[in-house]
């Protein structure tokens, strides 16, 4: 049986520091405005809850909504289909929307979600991600813009922790780690 091992990539402290920076950037960009953060479940749960709590309510009027999409099966390979399992509930027309995602891989999930959200005619739609794996991007989506990114782009590792999973495991790790399989 294959044994799984995890090597730390980003510690809890590093995550917290980078989220502080991102929060200051968001406060500047949305100063005096309202912002609906749409968390893409389940992977961005930890990210959105920590990031939202770092944003000063006197500067930005933050709201949180959720959407659930899945493009992955039980393993580590991306599927070609994006399923929307749960849609947003906030009224998004004329509002600033920020889609908050754990990791951008092929980009198909985010591309589909932003396309769906634009149907509600928000005044703006921005993308915020914890991690980015540009080497995996679908060629048709090479211009996909990530407006807010917590960490510099990473190699094509399969990462877990801080919301990210492998078959639902490891989401509760306080750090992000590289998952590998040993014989
Ligand atoms: P796409 O390909 O649509 O995929 O950009 C985005 C979703 O795929 C999942 N994903 C990962 N999940 N470790 C994970 O735990 C990874 O390294 C990884 N790469 C992609 C993730 O759910 C993301 O929302
Ligand atoms: Mg996800």
pLDDT tens profile 117-166: 999 999 999 999 999 999 999 999 999 999 999 999 999 999 999 999 99
Q: What is the pLDDT of residues 27-76, one digit of tens each?
A: 999 999 999 999 999 999 999 999 999 999 999 999 999 999 877 554 55
Least confident of 21-25, 30-34, 110-114: 110-114
Distance CA 40, CA 48 (A): 9
At 2, the pLDDT band (50, 70, 90 cuts) reads confident
What crossing angle do the helices spanning 45-54 and 12-29 adopt, rounded to 10°?
60
Is the CB of 109 within 6 Å of ligand 1? yes
- The shares of helix, strand and coil residues in the chain, as percent rounded to the nearest 5, are 25, 40, 35
Cβ count within 10 A of residue 109: 25
- Report pLDDT for 76: 53
At 90, the pLDDT band (50, 70, 90 cuts) reads confident
- The ligand with the least distance to the CA atom of 82 is 1
Which residues does 49 contact at the CB level (< 8 Å), separation at least 6?
none
Q: Taking 80 as the threshold, does the pLDDT of residue 183 lie above it?
A: no
- Report pLDDT for 80: 65
Is the CB of 160 within 6 Å of ligand 1? yes
CB 136 within 8 A of CB 10: no
Among 9, 43, 77, name the best residue to mutate to test ligand 1's pocket (greatest count of ligand atoms within 8 A of Cβ): 43
Distance CA 15, CA 17 (A): 6
Is the CB of 158 within 6 Å of ligand 1? yes
61 included as an active-site residue:
no
């Amino acid at each position: 049986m294959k044994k799984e091992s995890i090597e730390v990539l980003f510690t809890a402290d590093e995550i917290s520091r980078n989220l502080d920076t991102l929060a200051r950037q968001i406060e500047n960009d949305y100063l005096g405005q309202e912002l609906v953060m749409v968390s893409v479940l389940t992977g961005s749960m930890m990210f959105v809850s920590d990031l939202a709590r770092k944003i000063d309510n006197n500067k930005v009027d933050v709201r949180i909504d959720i959407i659930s999409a899945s493009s992955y099966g039980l393993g580590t390979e991306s599927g070609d289909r994006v399923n929307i399992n749960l849609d947003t509930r906030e009224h998004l027309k004329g509002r600033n929307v920020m889609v908050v995602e754990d990791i951008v891989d092929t980009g198909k999930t985010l591309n589909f979600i932003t396309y769906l959200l634009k149907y509600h005619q928000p005044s703006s739609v921005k993308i915020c991600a914890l991690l980015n794996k540009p080497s995996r991007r679908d060629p048709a989506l090479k211009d996909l813009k990530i407006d807010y990114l917590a960490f510099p782009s990473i190699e094509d590792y399969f990462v877990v922790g801080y919301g990210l999973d492998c078959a639902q495991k490891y989401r509760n790790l306080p750090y992000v780690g590289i998952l590998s399989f040993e014989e």
